[in-house]
A and B are shown apart, each in its own frame.
Chain A
């Protein structure tokens, strides 16, 4: 790969296995990568299993992580895995974190809607993730229609990030209602945002760059529920500089994953 080509390599921080057909998790990921290829997306971060569980039991959590592991091990040069944890099952979550990140190939943590993330119950998970140099991706939404009981707002993540300044967090979906979410996380330099999982509303990427700086923004798709294309359009269609687009499309994700990848001996 030439140097110029490498500069355009697109990495997607937010991909799932649920919502696309396939005999096995690896088959599902293979199909997703065929679509990713059509848009020049080179690497994807995958988390959660072939079914979504709001508040998974330890067994369901383990199953989801086994499925992701099976999928990413089929495509080691195309996919990274984030381990799915449930703060309502702390001991089991720590076991999963050790199994798949400390002793396995995964490089990040995914937290969804089981418990609002400002809760101190998350602290042991975040502390262990930080020891392992894993990034922590937390679903955040601030829905006009009302959140789920355990669904974190971007304000919740700001509280958590304030307690853990050494941890690298990703506010998934930029808080959904991004005009609020971007403001909520702005003071916390250890929070980046991903741009996925809501409509390709014009202005989001421009405001994100204005508010946070391009260094704190990540491209993500939320595929297969969302289209790779519509979410990529948020970056490619934005009135921001070419340098900012390069950062958002891949360079930022490579930067925040570099410590754990180096620790695992993974060369890019």
Chain B
């Protein structure tokens, strides 16, 4: 194929989305779809892009080492909506660095409540802190959270720590999804005085065998884990993975050649990465529309529905 009309249509569409002038173009290229959630899905099927996205890897607030465009929630929400995101699983960047986790999670819940139709708060648990069990209880019982996020490398505990097993047991018992963030930044570009290696996932297999009912999603895992490793963990337990940090041309189509497609969920890592990178990645891979939609939203929805219904 050489510069076909379809290619041009996407190119122009992506450009228009990114420049925020999509509204002006709608009459000309007939693109806005309305989905069941009554959100405008700019990445419509006619462009071969995902629609009605559930983004499982979102953050609110500021990263301490740089300012980025969407570290105000208003701007972030506007961008997510523009790209057709209908639900965003959002954790707090404060949770990576702060120790007052109750305060971190309360601010997150309050902020998410301003856009409750879009933002699902995902509390941070630091099982190395004294009384972390109370944070778990607060998130699950007081705030009704079904998704919690861990940062083992930033918080300084290994996955074979007894507190991790205790936490995963609680999560399995309460039907809560645990998201493990494997890394936040390429080690080659980290600040010289703040170097944090990726999480060592070797203990995961043993944990999955000991706690078969736990549900885990690995975020930002692809630089560290091969598809073959991921498949092994998926065969050992209820393990899911998001798409962020998946690189190489046709990355998604190559990933789902090895791992079950129903274990792969869309994740953008906004606001620290450009949302467009994740959105275009869905377009780059040759995926049947139903597969694309499964990854964009179906798997995350089914996962959450399963947790909600027990």
Contact = CB atoms under 8 A, between A and B. Distances in A.
Query: Do A and B make up one complex?
Result: yes
Contacts of A37: 1-4, 7
Contacts of A38: 7, 10, 48, 283-284, 286
Contact of B270 (A42, A143, A202): A202
Interface string B60-75: 0000001111100000
Contacts of A206: 69
Contact of A224 (B70, B249, B273, B283): B249
Given A227-B248, A233-B277, A39 B18 contact: no
Contacts of A89: none
Given A202-B274, A237-B274, A227 B67 contact: no
Given A39-B11, A40-B11, A229-B280, A234 B274 contact: yes
A202 B69 contact: yes
A38 to B, nearest CB: 6
Interface residues of B, number: 53
A227 B272 contact: no
Contacts of A176: 188-189
B18 A238 contact: yes
Nearest to B3: A42
B15 A35 contact: no
A199 B70 CA distance: 17
Given A42-B3, A236-B276, A237-B275, A227 B281 contact: yes
B11 A8 contact: yes
A202 B272 contact: yes
A236 B14 contact: yes
Contact of B284 (A177, A228, A234): A228
A143 B281 CA distance: 26
Find the residue from A32, A40, A235 having the highest chain B CB count within 10 A.
A40
Interface of B: 1-4, 7-8, 10-12, 14-15, 17-19, 21, 48, 66-70, 185-192, 195, 245-251, 270-284, 286
Interface of A: 1, 5, 8, 10, 19-20, 32-35, 37-40, 42, 77-78, 141, 143-145, 176-179, 198-203, 206, 223-239, 241-242, 245
